[in-house]
Structure 1
Amino acid sequence: MISNKFIKGAALSLFAVVIGMSPAIAADEKPNFIIILADDLGYGDVGYTGSTEIKTPHIDALAKSGVIFEQGYVSAPVCGPSRAGLMTGRNQVNFGFDNNNVKPGPQYNREYFGLPITEKTIADRLAKQGYVNGMIGKWHLGDEAHFKAPKRGFDEVWTYPVGGHDYFRSEPNGEGYLSPLESNFKTPDPITYITDDTGNESAAFIKRNKNKPFFLYASFNAPHAPLQAPQKDIDLYKHIKNENRRIYAAMIHRLDENVGKIVAELKANNVYDNTVIVFLSDNGGPGTGKKSRTVNAPFRGSKGILLEGGIHVPFIMSWPNGLKANSRYEHPITTLDLTPTFVALAGGEILPKDKIDGVNVYPYLTGENTGNPNQQMKWRFTVSASIRDGDWKLIRLPDRLPLLYNVKEDVAELNDVAAKHPERVVKMLKTLGTWDISTPQHLYMEGARYKKEQLKSYDAQYRITQPK
């Protein structure tokens, strides 16, 4: 049930939006915000999306407590660019962050090897509204000092460099996935299991900051490789014959436990009802073929490509004070929408000069606004680019004519109907191309070998039904 205090505040906010003012919201009325981000989680690998093998009771309970986005999208099919869009509310292609920032070629300057310092983050914007901001877990938006989270609006940071980490250990002088943990507010404790440690640090942040409005970015490494899990969790899934999938399932189990831990901490500190919690994955699950450890069913595709399996992710928003439980939203929502939505709910304002690509979707979720907030969406990643206009989605690849799908009628994108709709193809291709040439140069590029791998993935087999 929505409180009278909330209704009064929401009405003030809506009035302010109508007349172009930034609403003033008292600190004790501002909602808290939490983004819980999974890493490489397959769309079909949680309970509420239909998994027949993996149990996720805490994630399912979170879905039941709020709104399930039936068409939830990320802005890129791999970690770094996806997070750049999530953190800014801008399509990362519009500022040159097209590729994962891993092992740049010698021709690229490391001073530009991360989220450009000219870009404001969601934490920067919420800080202006009086929020304390915490970043716990994977960053992957640049390891040079000027790119790191403490310089990007986050007050309390517990993290590690590069794009992932070993789950059980680090080394004092380690590199890559064995790098030491980093924090700007404590000496990090030794790793137990990094998914648990991320959950524990997230809960501790909530407890420390329960008396002020806060934003927590709980960025889990799970279930990204390396495939590592406690043996007791692996034993829970001993019925799964595929060893990689068995370990992957165990990693999701432990992720789910820590989602429950975060929600429990909110409730224990009496801030759950006024906290907006978003849960999603940064991209689709990796792997091709029927023996892939991940399941993106009912979608075809995987991490790294622009078929639905690479960009259509589990996506939930819960807020007891402001959103109806047991709800579903049918129109497309993207991670780019989180920044303008959170800023509006915090009492801030997004200006045209900010060039935000996302939309404040809260009025759409409450029914104040109707229609599709994201009628047109665009993606570009290495060899591929895509545009969605309503239910129509076009994919452009370098070795074939454009592909066209109606993703409402053909969710698995099995039937290319481009030949039947030539005028639509031409129109969408022109819009995509016009955007393409308006974007800046890439800041850097991934290794050339990935281009062949990604193109090959468009022709691979995928499991589009749940395992039996």
Structure 2
Amino acid sequence: MKLFNSLLLLAITALLSCQEKVIQKEVKKKPNIIFIISDDQSWGDYSFMGHPHIQTPNIDALAKESATYTRGYVSSPLCGPSLATIITGKYAFQHGQTGNDGGDSGKGPTLWNDKDDEELRAKQFKLSKKQGLNYLYSEKRNELFDVVKEKFYQNKLLTDYLSEAGYRSFQSGKWWLGSWTEGKFDAGMTHGDYKRKGRHGDEGLKIGREGLEPIYNFIEETQKYDTPFFVWYAPFLPHTPHNPPQELLDKYMKVAPSKSVAEYWAMCEWFDQTVGALMRHLNEKSIEDNTLIVYTTDNGWIQSEKHHVYAPRSKRAPHEGGVRTPIMFRFPGTIEPEIDDATLVGNIDLMPTVLEFLDVNTEDLPGINALDKEKSKAREALFIECYSHDILNVEKPAETVLYKVAINNRWKLMIPNPKMVLREYEKTEEQFMGYYSNKVQLFDLKNDPGEMVNLAEKHPEVVAHMSQQIDQWWQPTE
């Protein structure tokens, strides 16, 4: 009997030991990571954020299952610098990509995407569409941007850290900085060759609009080798051209004030459908619960009712319509779902949050772990930098700053660079004349979320304190 009991005890001990090893293996299994990055979408253009017409059921579900911060902010209201911040964890004055393109003293055009706007373009720049595109892909312009790229790739990227941690990475969608290989991805879609019209994503811009098969194929490949993956899903959605599926356009034509608005609203739902397709695929592959989902936009957008362009005080502007976005982190069982309407979170925080979640040590970064409530509460201000579309001096890219911005729980301070503001909005973008100020602006976001009343003269003590915070933060190096 004693022998039997001893054998039984050994068997139970061995079984528990095996179970413990299985549990340890499951705990140590590295999570997959997917960044979902909307392109040109206003912070309020989701049904869960209260939009009365736009339907986004899939992103709504994601928000419900995530730590969702409705007061999220991008570091810059322009896609190139904003995306570069996401992949470096640094501000544009630190990583060097302050604009979308290299410029030639600012004399070249900023092109619209749609043929309906040729009249605006002709009036503004006296250029045909063909002339404009020749300029956009000119050798000189791209040689200037090569200087920016050379400096940029001195930064350590998120993909560098993930590669060291055993991840394989895939690039799709928007990517300004050459090819996916330059971005240290293991696979991708963007070639970045301007001679083949490679500028801001090229082949990568097909993702979402033409399905998600490249991502699905990459996930399947990594599963074969039991390798954790990172997917950069930054589709050209709802970005122009606004050419949604007809059934979605018909749906929104019934409620929108104009066709251009209906097209944009339909694009938002089309993007949402791709998010739903991606989440369903993860579920079908039984990896949804071991995949960290991170959601943000690159910059804001308010749709013009008359043209296929953004309205003033949105994209490329420091106002809420240009810089605010919901930010989400989803990982079932570890990240507690909640809708947080108070905490300030920036896209500057995405990289440190993800790497700390993975227990990966990093260099000193300006962002924080957004999931650390103590650090979030201790944050005194979040900062934003607004630049010219073109990097007019590639040797000193920070010179083209338009506004430096600080935000806290109540106040928002905008400090202009008067010379650049005048050049950008009065001389080269006449449709925006009168909407932007070259004066210091202070807004009470709690009582004036529309940023209509400048309180800078009434609260000089707030201006002085927040200006000092900006001066301490803003430290460009050449």
Please give the range of the TM-score, normalised by the shorter of the 2 chains: 0.7 to 0.9
SS of the residue corresponding to residue 51 of structure 1 reads coil
SS of the residue corresponding to residue 279 of structure 2 reads helix
Amino acid at match of 2:147: Y
What are structure 1's unaligned runs of at least 5 residues?
1-7, 9-23, 164-172, 183-190, 442-468
Amino acid at match of 1:51: H
Question: Which residue pairs with 2:268 in the alignment?
Answer: 252
Question: Which residue pairs with 1:460 in the alignment?
Answer: none
Question: Which residue pairs with 2:372 in the alignment?
Answer: 363
2:460 aligned with 1:422: yes
The verdict on how the C-alpha distance between 1:46 and 1:161 changes in structure 2, with shifts beyond 3 A counting, is: farther
Q: Identity of aligned pairs, percent?
A: 27
The verdict on how the C-alpha distance between 1:109 and 1:54 changes in structure 2, with shifts beyond 3 A counting, is: same
> For residues 214-253 of structure 1, what are the structure 2 equivalents within 5 Å?
214-239=229-254, 240-253=256-269
Q: TM-score, normalised by structure 1?
A: 0.74
Question: Which residue pairs with 1:21 in the alignment?
Answer: none
- Asked if structure 1 preserves the Cα contact closer than 8 Å seen for 2:88 and 2:95, the reply is no
The verdict on how the C-alpha distance between 1:416 and 1:25 changes in structure 2, with shifts beyond 3 A counting, is: farther
Deviations 1:314-358 (A, max 9, x none): 2222111212234436211111111111111222112xxx34111
Question: Which residue pairs with 1:33 in the alignment?
Answer: 33
- Asked if structure 1 preserves the Cα contact closer than 8 Å seen for 2:81 and 2:92, the reply is yes
| Match of residue 212, structure 2, among 199, 215, 219 | 199
**Equivalents in 1 of 2:245, 2:451: separation in Å?**
37
The verdict on how the C-alpha distance between 1:241 and 1:395 changes in structure 2, with shifts beyond 3 A counting, is: closer
Question: Which residue pairs with 1:16 in the alignment?
Answer: none
| Match of residue 186, structure 2, among 142, 145, 155 | 155
The verdict on how the C-alpha distance between 1:370 and 1:116 changes in structure 2, with shifts beyond 3 A counting, is: closer
- The CA RMSD measured in Å over matched residues stands at 3.1
- Asked if structure 2 preserves the Cα contact closer than 8 Å seen for 1:41 and 1:284, the reply is yes
Question: Which residue pairs with 1:275 in the alignment?
Answer: 291
> For residues 31-430 of structure 1, what are the structure 2 equivalents within 5 Å?
31-101=31-101, 109-114=144-149, 116-140=152-176, 142-143=177-178, 148-159=179-190, 161=192, 175=197, 181=203, 194-197=207-210, 199-210=212-223, 211-239=226-254, 240-287=256-303, 301-328=313-340, 330-350=342-362, 354-364=363-373, 369=374, 371-372=376-377, 374-382=379-387, 383-397=402-416, 398=418, 400-430=438-468
- Asked if structure 1 preserves the Cα contact closer than 8 Å seen for 2:264 and 2:303, the reply is no
Please report how far the alpha carbon of residue 233 of structure 1 lies from its aligned counterpart in structure 2 after TM superposition: 2.8
- Asked if structure 2 preserves the Cα contact closer than 8 Å seen for 1:99 and 1:381, the reply is no
Amino acid at match of 1:200: E
Please report how far the alpha carbon of residue 178 of structure 1 lies from its aligned counterpart in structure 2 after TM superposition: 11
The verdict on how the C-alpha distance between 1:390 and 1:237 changes in structure 2, with shifts beyond 3 A counting, is: closer
Q: TM-score, normalised by structure 2?
A: 0.73
Please report how far the alpha carbon of residue 87 of structure 1 lies from its aligned counterpart in structure 2 after TM superposition: 0.7
- Asked if structure 1 preserves the Cα contact closer than 8 Å seen for 2:171 and 2:188, the reply is yes
What are structure 2's unaligned runs of at least 5 residues?
1-19, 106-139, 388-401, 419-436
**Equivalents in 1 of 2:365, 2:199: separation in Å?**
33
- Asked if structure 2 preserves the Cα contact closer than 8 Å seen for 1:377 and 1:388, the reply is yes
Deviations 1:88-135 (A, max 9, x none): 111121233222226555597333233711111111111111111111
The verdict on how the C-alpha distance between 1:371 and 1:336 changes in structure 2, with shifts beyond 3 A counting, is: closer
- Asked if structure 1 preserves the Cα contact closer than 8 Å seen for 2:85 and 2:95, the reply is no
**Equivalents in 2 of 1:52, 1:160: separation in Å?**
40
Question: Which residue pairs with 2:124 in the alignment?
Answer: none
Deviations 1:238-291 (A, max 9, x none): 313411122222222221111011111111111111211112210011456x66
- Asked if structure 1 preserves the Cα contact closer than 8 Å seen for 2:302 and 2:321, the reply is no
Please report how far the alpha carbon of residue 80 of structure 1 lies from its aligned counterpart in structure 2 after TM superposition: 0.2
**Equivalents in 1 of 2:220, 2:406: separation in Å?**
43
* Rg larger for: 2
**Equivalents in 1 of 2:82, 2:210: separation in Å?**
24
- Asked if structure 1 preserves the Cα contact closer than 8 Å seen for 2:96 and 2:148, the reply is no
The verdict on how the C-alpha distance between 1:92 and 1:50 changes in structure 2, with shifts beyond 3 A counting, is: same
SS of the residue corresponding to residue 208 of structure 2 reads helix
Amino acid at match of 2:313: G
**Equivalents in 1 of 2:49, 2:308: separation in Å?**
17
SS of the residue corresponding to residue 101 of structure 2 reads coil
Amino acid at match of 2:386: F
Question: Which residue pairs with 1:466 in the alignment?
Answer: none
Question: Which residue pairs with 1:458 in the alignment?
Answer: none
Question: Which residue pairs with 1:18 in the alignment?
Answer: none
Task: Write 1 or 2 for the structure with the bigger share of helix.
Answer: 2
**Equivalents in 2 of 1:50, 1:294: separation in Å?**
23
Deviations 1:34-82 (A, max 9, x none): 1101100122211111111211111111111112202111110010000
Amino acid at match of 2:243: Q
Deviations 1:282-318 (A, max 9, x none): 0011456x6677999xxx9301111111111122221
**Equivalents in 2 of 1:370, 1:179: separation in Å?**
35
**Equivalents in 2 of 1:96, 1:428: separation in Å?**
24
Amino acid at match of 2:169: N
Amino acid at match of 1:181: E
**Equivalents in 1 of 2:252, 2:314: separation in Å?**
23
**Equivalents in 1 of 2:207, 2:162: separation in Å?**
28
**Equivalents in 1 of 2:216, 2:308: separation in Å?**
30
**Equivalents in 1 of 2:270, 2:351: separation in Å?**
28
**Equivalents in 2 of 1:274, 1:283: separation in Å?**
28
